[in-house]
Amino acid sequence: MARKKAEKTENKKAVNSDVEGLRAEVLEQPITETLEVNYMPYAMSVIVSRAIPEIDGFKPSHRKLLYTMYKMGLLTGSRTKSANIVGQTMRLNPHGDAAIYETMVRLAKGNETLLTPFVDSKGNFGKVYSRDMAYAASRYTEAKLAPICAEIFRDIDKDTVDFVDNYDSSMKEPTLIPTAFPNVLVSANTGIAVGMASNICGFNLGETCRAEIEYLDDPDFDIMTVLKAPDFSTGGEIIYNADEMRGIYDTGRGSFKIRSKYRYIKEENLIEVYEIPYTTTSEAIIDKVAELIKTGKVKEINDMRDETDLSGLKLAIELKRGTDPDKLMAKLFKMTPLMDSFACNFNILIAGMPKVMGIREILEEWTAWRIDCVKRRVYNDVQKKKEKLHLLRGLEKILLDIDKAIAIIRNTEEEAEVVPNLMIGFGIDQTQAEYVADIRLRNINKEYILKRTAETADLEKEIEDLEGVLKSQRKVKGIIKKELQEIIKKYEEPRRTSIVYDSDVTEYNEEDHIEDYAVTVFLSKEGYFKKITPQSLRMSSEQKYKEGDSLRCSFRSGNKAEILVFTDRQQVYKIKLSDIADTKASALGQYLPSALGMDEGEAPIWAFDPQGYTGNVLFFFKNGKAAKVPLSSYATKTNRKKLTGAYSDKSPLMSVLQLEGDVQVAVYSTEDRAIVLGSELIPLKTSRGSQGVNVLTLKKQYTLKEARKLEDTEIKNVSRYRVKNIPAAGALLKPEDRGEQQMSIL
């Protein structure tokens, strides 16, 4: 037993030693080495091989899918099951069938993501404008390549682009697809890499091709005269600002607004939204509108529903009687995704390096790349024609003595000697001799040979013309322009996204649509808030509170006013009274901690109307101090709803007074004493967090109870309590000066 126990102890020590050694080994590796060895290769892989498109406008996943479909014969053949395409694509893309099928969905005509889709789909491929309309599984849908793919795969088999091995070296795949038009601008593309992203908006095919033709003629032409603005598959209207758009065209960065299109059906008092921004979905719009209706910010709508069907998108908005549809839509454009922004980031891989470029620079890069593709194609044609010409020249020599050729073949004993004997007999090379030897017996006649050799002159002329193209940049550009003109003629479609100039757009201003009327505000000690009209107060002025609750403060204001609510956590919240529903005195009111989203346990202790943020605010603390802070320090240029550090946190806050000018203030202590002082005795502090100055001289067991404007108190013997210097202990209150201290917040 003792030996076993000793062995156990030794084993445990050995294990602990190994663990410590491993831990030491891990800890010894510098973080810079970990990043360099492990993280950087991953980051570069995501940037170069997944997320950022290249000059052909495709990411690797798009390229692998489309090339697989091309090799399957789906450019001219009939549709096949999507599952079949996905399975075949896995020979190039090992990332799984789900990722491949999602790529196909985005490229499909049925999904409507692209203005110029590359996959001709059949079945349910979902919709880009719907979050919840899911696409069917790949076993239920069918697809083939769209006709436009004839232009992206044009002459791919003529060495126009480089080919590399796939992941297991079992087949070759293209590094780029030789698109005959600037697909990098036509196809919308979004990608998030590591430390960078790309977001390219789509442009109309016809406009893009014309812009490229103009660029080939004059690289300095004004792009905006031809390529007017982006174009989206979901339509909508671009709010066009020329300076904003030119900035995007020049730098490749910036944003512009795009809004929905709608029509008003007067007979049904209904608005139909039939095109929405590319950046949102119908469900997101409906959810936001429902939220606005629930919170009372939009009161003009009876109901909103999604009536999208096979004919396309349709969101129906039922209006209340008397609602102006255009004013309502202007309001919804501002408050919902019915109008959204598209942030451009034209980040493209050029020679394996990410680069953010403007439109002109993209056209320049695409032109240089396309010129290289066309030159490689022409060079490939020249080489093949030269090879054919070389064979025909050998055939010409046979023509001089066909019988001799037959005799050589007949008299040669071994098959392997036929080609060498022909080479010796006619002075031709091995390639020519192989060609002659392979001619069928029925073609060994003068007619056949004369027809073949008659092609020689034509081939020589074609080779001369093609070599002339290789030497002339102008002729190469002419070929590109001709191909672009053919594409415009075959595939151009009208713009889907309209252009509306920003000068013609009237933005919704909420302030202009808020009705202004007098209201009285009530805040209870437990945080219940009421906004009551004078008419409602006249009908019933008796306020209802929860048991044990009572009034904290009350003041008059207007429905368009913005009020400040101070809490016991040194925070101040801003409320627009127009956002609070009118109520009656008999109601409890709105519970502010919930309505304003206050922190847990936080409670409101005072509220007032800042009235233009002029004047000052006086804070009175339990320790007998008071601080005067300018109201302007609570004004903000942005629509911030909450400010922290609203006042000092050194002692509990007991009272808050708003001052337009200097006033007389009565300050009470728990010793039943009071002082009356002019507010000018308290110095103005620039910092909101100031502790202030002592106003009361307090005995150890007493504290400051509250402070009120003298005019709001019952003090009759003012001279008894008036002080000219602070701090002061004050005088004991006489019975006639006590009154009802209903404004206490204790």
Q: What DSSP letter does each residue of 516-584 carry, written as one string?
A: --EEEEEEETTSEEEEE-HHHHHH--PPP--TT--EEEEEEEETT-EEEEEETTSEEEEEEGGGSPP--
CA separation for the pair 397, 400 (Å, rounded): 6
CATH class of 510-738: mainly beta
Band (pLDDT 50/70/90 cuts) for residue 26 is low
Is residue 232 within 8 A of residue 202, CB to CB? The reply is yes
Radius of gyration from C-alpha coordinates of the chain:
41
**Residue 3's pLDDT band (cuts 50, 70, 90):** low
**High-pLDDT (> 70) share of the chain, %:** 94
Q: Which amino acid is at 5?
A: K
The per-residue pLDDT for 556 is 87
Mean pLDDT of 713-734: 89
CATH architecture, range 52-179: Alpha-Beta Complex (3.90)
What are the structure tokens assigned to 147, written together? Answer: 């006709």
What pLDDT is stored for residue 14 in this prediction?
Answer: 53
Catalytic position from the list 39, 42, 140, 501: 140
- What gap in Å lies between CA 180 and CA 659, rounded to an integer? 74
pLDDT score of 745: 43
pLDDT for position 411: 85
- State which amino acid sits at residue 742: Q
What is the pLDDT confidence band of residue 11, given thresholds at 50, 70 and 90? low
Question: What global pTM score does this model have?
Answer: 0.74
pLDDT of residue 544: 85
Separation of alpha carbons 570 and 592, rounded Å: 16
CA 679 to chain centre: 53
pLDDT over 80 (residue 507): no
Assign 742 a pLDDT band (cuts: 50, 70, 90). Answer: very low
Would you say residue 24 has pLDDT above 70? no
- pLDDT recorded at residue 359: 96
Under the banding of pLDDT at 50, 70 and 90, the label for residue 243 is very high
In the residue annotation, 67 being an active-site residue is answered as no
Q: Report whether pLDDT(36) > 80.
A: no
pLDDT category at 492 given cuts 50, 70, 90 is very high
364-491 domain in CATH 1.10.268.10?
yes
Question: 261-337: which CATH topology?
Answer: Gyrase A; domain 2 (3.30.1360)
Q: Is the pLDDT of residue 54 over 80?
A: yes
pLDDT score, position 157: 92
How much is the pLDDT for 395?
79
From 182, 174, 110, 100, select the one nearest 146 (Cα to Cα): 110
Lowest mean pLDDT among 43-47, 233-237, 508-512, 687-691: 508-512
* Residue 435 banded pLDDT, cuts 50, 70, 90: confident
Does residue 308 carry a pLDDT above 80?
A: yes
pLDDT at 73: 94
Q: Collect all residues with Cβ–Cβ distance below 8 Å to 694 and sequence separation of at least 6.
A: 624, 625, 726, 727
What is residue 560's predicted lDDT score, i.e. its pLDDT? 84
Backbone angles phi, psi at 468, to 5 degrees: -65, -35
| Mean pLDDT confidence for 462-468 | 92
Going from the C-alpha of 206 to that of each of 115, 185, 227, 400, 490, the distances in angstroms are: 11, 11, 9, 56, 10
Q: Beta strands 528-532 and 551-558: pairing type?
A: unpaired
| 194, two tokens | 């590591």
Residue 691 confidence (pLDDT) above 90: no
Instruction: Tell me how far apart the alpha carbons of residues 253 and 668 are, in angstroms, rounded to a whole number.
Output: 62
Write down the mean pLDDT value for the chain: 88
- The whole-number pLDDT of residue 496 equals 95
